[in-house]
Amino acid sequence: MKIRKTTRLDRGGAGRRRRMRVRLASHYGMCFGVRDALRATHAAAAEGPVTVLGQLVHNPVVDEDLERIGAGRGEPDADPGAAEGAVVFTAHGVSDRVRRRWQGSGRRVVDTTCPLVAKAHTALAGLVGAGYRPLVIGHRGHVEVDGLVGDYPEAVVIESFRDVLRLPSEGRFGVVSQTTQPRDRVAQLVEQLRRSRPGCEVKFVDTVCQPTKDRQAALVELCRECEFVVVVGGPNSNNTGELLGRARSLGARAVRVSRPDELRRRWFRGVASVGVTAGTSTLDETVRGVFDRLQRIAADLG
């Protein structure tokens, strides 16, 4: 997608107010995993009925697109007999238990699990195979985390230091994280685990995906230059929420919008510079729409 990274809206001149600058993060928006999942789902839907098991990606604009092409929605734990046509595993992945159940049902399965989620599954399986108790740093109940822990009844999900304190003081722990967790938080929890459980052996495999790391790093740079940040993405998108929280913790005023018409002109009165970033499930055209609307708002306020 080609968007000029910075729009210069400065009219200059002594005593004249500068127009609000609008800047795009150096890394933002849809990742290859989501793009491939969307492409595979569109291709399957072009051949016949499909049922997506869960929300393909956590973005309402994508949901509308899937509705438009007639893709149905089911749940990974549903009865295979109730689904229509081919079934799609989302980019968030599923447990082996769920995978086997659907594959054994005789239905055509379109598996769009992101290779970087699959890598996290492989890392966790390796740790369990080596005798470690599985720990997953992430959000309890998030579909990716459910898939990761779904084959291991002894697995523990770690959301905060409180969860670390509930662990036994002896044992061997094998740790991975949800791919979209902030890398700083993951590193901090692993450190807290090691310090608070000195009698335990802790083996950690970093499974935060590179697109997430790139977007988080680009946000830090964006917050250095912009006082206000707009994060484009769905309300239940984990990485969108993480970008929003991070922007605020870095001192920026920040809002999340799903689409351009949610932007309010009054938010930007007196703002000199606004940065735009987006979660990994946000369509390019949605980011473009937000960027263009911000430029119009800048011109109106100018």
Known catalytic residues are: 144
Looking at 55, 90, 179, 282, which residue binds ligand SF4 (CB under 6 A)? 179
Tell the smallest beta-carbon distance from residue 107 to ligand SF4 (Å).
23
Burial class (CB in 10 A: 0-12, 13-18, 19+), 251: exposed
Under DSSP, the state recorded for 16 is P
Under DSSP, the state recorded for 179 is T
Q: Is 180 in the site for ligand SF4 (CB under 6 A)?
A: yes
Give the pair of three-digit tokens for residue 6: 């910075």
The sheet with strand 72-74 has its strands ordered as 72-74, 50-53, 86-89, 109-111
Looking at 7, 21, 33, 254, which residue binds ligand SF4 (CB under 6 A)? 33
Q: Is 280 in the site for ligand SF4 (CB under 6 A)?
A: yes
Tell the smallest beta-carbon distance from residue 114 to ligand SF4 (Å).
3
Segment contacting ligand SF4 (CB under 6 A): 205-213, 243-251, 252-260, 290-298? 205-213
Tell the smallest beta-carbon distance from residue 31 to ligand SF4 (Å).
3
Tell the smallest beta-carbon distance from residue 73 to ligand SF4 (Å).
19
How big is the site for ligand SF4, counted in residues (CB under 6 A)? 14
Alpha carbons within 13 angstroms on the beta-carbon side of residue 235 total: 2
**CA-to-CA distance for 246 and 136, rounded, in angstroms?**
21
**CA-to-CA distance for 138 and 141, rounded, in angstroms?**
9
Interacting residues with ligand SF4 between 45 and 104 (CB under 6 A): 91
Segment contacting ligand SF4 (CB under 6 A): 198-206, 209-217, 226-234, 243-251? 209-217
Interacting residues with ligand SF4 between 116 and 155 (CB under 6 A): 116-117
Under DSSP, the state recorded for 181 is S
Whose CB is nearest to ligand SF4? 33
User: Is residue 274 within 8 Å of 21, Cβ to Cβ?
Assistant: yes
**CA-to-CA distance for 6 and 24, rounded, in angstroms?**
7
> Would you put residue 26 in left (φ > 0), alpha (ψ -120 to 50) or beta?
alpha
Q: Is 31 in the site for ligand SF4 (CB under 6 A)?
A: yes
Q: Is 211 in the site for ligand SF4 (CB under 6 A)?
A: yes
Give the pair of three-digit tokens for residue 100: 């086997």
Q: Is 212 in the site for ligand SF4 (CB under 6 A)?
A: yes
Q: Is 219 in the site for ligand SF4 (CB under 6 A)?
A: no
Residues of this chain that bind ligand SF4 (CB under 6 A) = 31-34, 91, 114, 116-117, 179-180, 209, 211-212, 280
